A and B are shown apart, each in its own frame.
Chain A
Amino acid sequence: MTDTTASNADDPMADQGTLKQRLAKAERRNKLRAYGLVLPLFIFSAIFFFFPIGLMMFNSIDNPLVANAVPKTVEALKTQWDSRKDTLPPEEVYATFGKEFHDLDRLTQSRMARRMNFENAGLLTLVRRTGSRLNALGKETEGGLDAITDWKTTLIEVDGRWGDAEVWATMRNIGDPITGNYYLNALDLRRDKHGEITTVDENRSIYIDVAVRTFWISGLVTFFCILLGYPVSFLLANLPMRYSNLLMILVLLPFWTSLLVRTTAWIVVLQDQGVLNDVLIFLHLIPDRVQLIYNRFGVIVSMTHILLPFMILPIYSVMKNINPSHVRAARSLGATQWTAFWRVYFPQSVPGIGAGGLLVFILALGYYITPALVGGPTDQMTSYFIADHTERSLNWGLASALGGILLASVLAIYLLYNRFVGIDNMKLG
């Protein structure tokens, strides 16, 4: 100890060096400690939040079923059949499939039927029937299925659709363990007989419409939120504290009220026998009760209501920081009230509109509960179809692909938000 102090005293440069090093070391330790503090949350979110989403994204391309169930058939379809020649697959393919499919247990057979059905509705019965017919044939025929020599005829006798090249093409198209087909389906595209990408029939295409509708509804809601939110924010930012705090409660109370409470409220207000219809009839504004709910109108009104506080709060916090003397200066230089507002005040409030608008748009894109409860069948957004395919039709691949597209859109806007607003500037309450 004494030794080092002595040497340091002798050589000031050495002292500086060690001090610098010690500082760097302390700085490094501080940094590590900071990362160490973030780590627990990071791990928690990684396991319970990001991993599930990653799993879902993987589900959107994961397609092991057919590849594992009938690998030889898929292989044979790819190597021994040229779908461009407009012929049926050769006998070998039929034979391979017949034996391979017959050897599967019933569960796998019916899973495969369901998988084929996702691609082409109606194939469910075909594959299921083939399973049970082959089973019966194996028992009826002397010498079992091995005795069958002409598989092509046998299968086509079981079900005529095996004579359709389209069915075989479908099986081949979904035969890869990793597939982009779910994404194609989510964009109303499919692979045709030749494996080329084409659009699905017009009467079957829904998801492009749904995506357009999702963006359209979100855009409209954002627009109305700006339209209604801007004046209120302006009023709140320019009133004396005493009044603005009081009025702020009117904004914050809905913000803090349960989403379901607000949705319930709108159902009560908009119903055919509801409050708004009563009032409109009482005021003789309409001769008869009108349908205000379970349609687009109901969705837009209730979503605007629910998301409006998310618009008002960011605009308000930006407006709060606009220096009022700028407008006064403009006025004293001869600008009319409108010019002073439009040329001086408004441009300074644009960041608030941007922040609120992006936030509302992002939140609106993912809306599920409100449209599900106050919308009609043609007002459902992407989220509804994701939920529907997960819970009802069990087409998890398609659900995940729709989710992947929605997530990509949201993340793109989130990045924009981060760039223009800065995530650390997000204000709450």
Chain B
Amino acid sequence: MAKLPPYVGIGGKTWHYSFRFICGAILFFLITPILVIIPLSFNSEPYFTYPMPGVSMRWYEEFVTNPVWGTAVKNSIIVAVFATIIATTLGTVAALGLSKSNLPGKSALMGILISPMIVPLVITAVGMKFFYSDPMGYLGFGWLQDMMIQWGWISDKLRLTNNLPGLIVAHAALGTPFVVITVTATLVGFDNSLIRASAGLGADPRRTFFKVTMPLVLPGMISGALFAFITSFDEVVIALFLAGKAEYTIPRQMFSGIREQISPTILAVATVLVIFSILLLTSLELLRRRNERMRGMSAA
């Protein structure tokens, strides 16, 4: 593929170059829309066309100074961080359980645990909107809740709508499949004799986990955590249904912005997000390399 052998005829050459051209066009289609908006975010006028009349940072200034965006950034970070912690912890532990070979019902369990990734977001969001409005009541603990209200422990029904904890658990539930998938993938080919060796050398299970298992699954954990983080950071449909104005996240705020009147501030935010995803992508790539290296060592 890299160099054409000398025997390839005209037809073969034509095909070779036109194929490359087609692929180039497709890759161009993939990347250009994202790149096009970056310069436009520095436009001095609120238009979305080239050539730009001048360059300015005013839209970035707007993004940094407008308290609406400030709140959105703060909310997004809080929600994503906590959702990631929950998802990564639960997902890693579950993946360790699932990695046991020939566990009965394993594929069914896996299918269930991964389904949050597959269920259309609107369905998840609407179901959550119903349930999160009164989770205690729906779970059959309405009486306990009433008693707690009577005793003055809580002033109202415990709800998960219009507050950050609701968004956090919802996003955590969405993020877990990614962690399960990535950690399970790291555990494929995991050498269980390492655990036995560690135990044989006198380590208790906790020490074994932190000293042997964890370093080996860490790349999977981190890449799962990155997926969980970006899932939460990028999620808008659930925020649309569960968040009130005070809980607007960045994507939710962008959605409103696009709906009402798309301003270049959105493009400034988008640019920041693109840079952010480049950073994420880079760290993921470095992780992958590290993982391959460690795999190579354990195989040797």
Q: Contacts A267-B258, A268-B36; is A34 near B19 (CB within 8 Å)?
A: no
> Which A residues, 246 to 278, have Cβ-Cβ distances below 8 Å to chain B?
247, 249-254, 256-269, 271, 273-275, 278
Q: How far is the CB of A158 from chain B (nearest CB, A)?
A: 36
Instruction: Determine whether the beta carbon of B104 is less than 8 Å from that of A40.
Output: no
Contacts A264-B266, A267-B258, A273-B49; is A33 near B169 (CB within 8 Å)?
no
Q: How far is the CB of A263 from chain B (nearest CB, A)?
A: 7
Residue A429 lies at the interface, judged by CB distance under 8 Å to chain B: yes
Q: Decide yes or no whether B197 CB sits under 8 A from chain A.
A: no
Instruction: Known contacts A264-B266, A426-B114; decide if A51 and B131 are in contact (CB<8 Å).
Output: yes
CA distance A313 to B36 in the complex (A): 24
In whole angstroms, how far apart are the Cα atoms of A38 and B280 in the complex?
28
Among listed A41-49, A109-117, A182-190, interface-contacting one: A41-49
Q: How large is the interface on B (under 10, 10 to 19, 20 to 34, 35 or more residues)?
A: 35 or more
B227 x A428 contact (CB < 8 A)? yes
- Closest-CB distance, B211 to chain A (whole angstroms): 18
Interface status of B81 (Cβ within 8 A of chain A): no
Question: A305 at the A/B interface (Cβ < 8 Å)?
Answer: yes
Query: Do A231 and B120 form a contact, CB below 8 Å, given A258-B251, A268-B267, A429-B284?
Result: no
Q: Which residues of B have CB within 8 Å of A429?
A: 223, 227, 284, 288
Q: Pick from A48, A49, A386: contact of B122, CB below 8 A.
A: A386
Nearest residue, chain A, Cβ from B47: A273
Bound Cα distance from A183 to B50, whole angstroms: 50
Q: Which one of B37, B170, B182 contacts A265 once the chains associate, using CB atoms below 8 Å?
A: B37
Q: Is there a chain B Cβ closer than 8 Å to A130's Cβ?
A: no
Report if A56-B130 is in contact (Cβ < 8 Å); known contacts: A37-B94, A232-B23, A407-B119. Answer: yes
Is B299 located at the chain interface by the 8 A CB criterion? Answer: no
At the interface, yes or no: A300 with Cβ under 8 Å from chain B? no
Q: Which of A325-382 contact B (CB under 8 A)?
A: 337, 362, 365-366, 368-369, 373
B29 close to A228 (CB less than 8 A): yes
Instruction: Give A211 Cβ to nearest chain B Cβ, in Å.
Output: 13
Cα–Cα, bound, A260→B266 (Å): 10
The answer to whether B93 touches A40 (Cβ under 8 A) is yes
- Binary B-proximity of A277-319 (CB < 8 A = 1, otherwise 0): 0100000000000000000000000000100110000000000
Within 8 Å by CB of A257, from B22, B29, B34, B181, lies B34
A40 to B31, CA, bound (A): 40
Q: How far is the CB of B292 from chain A (nearest CB, A)?
A: 12
Determine whether B2 belongs to the interface, using a CB cutoff of 8 Å to chain A. Answer: yes
Is there an interface contact between A275 and B49, defined as CB atoms closer than 8 Å?
yes
- Evaluate contact between A406 and B130: CB separation under 8 angstroms: no
Q: Which residue of B lies closest to A324 (CB)?
A: B1
CB of B29 within 8 A of CB of A275, answer: no
Task: Find out whether the CB atom of B116 lies under 8 angstroms from the CB atom of A45.
Answer: yes
A140 interface residue per 8 A CB criterion: no
Knowing A257-B277, A262-B33, A263-B258, say if A40 contacts B266 (CB, 8 Å): no
A268: nearest residue on chain B (CB-CB)? B48
Among the interface residues A31, A45, A48, A337, which one has the most CB atoms of the partner chain B within 10 A?
A: A48
Are the C-beta atoms of A231 and B258 separated by less than 8 Å? no
Q: Output the residue of A254, A399, A411 with the most chain B CB within 10 A.
A: A254
Assess whether B281 is in contact with A253, with CB atoms less than 8 Å apart. Answer: yes
Q: Is B128 an interface residue (CB 8 A)?
A: yes
Residues of B within 8 A of A252 (CB): 281
Are the C-beta atoms of A53 and B97 separated by less than 8 Å? Answer: no
Give 4 new A-B contacts, CB below 8 A, not counting A247-B27, A383-B121, A410-B120.
A368-B237, A387-B126, A418-B107, A428-B178
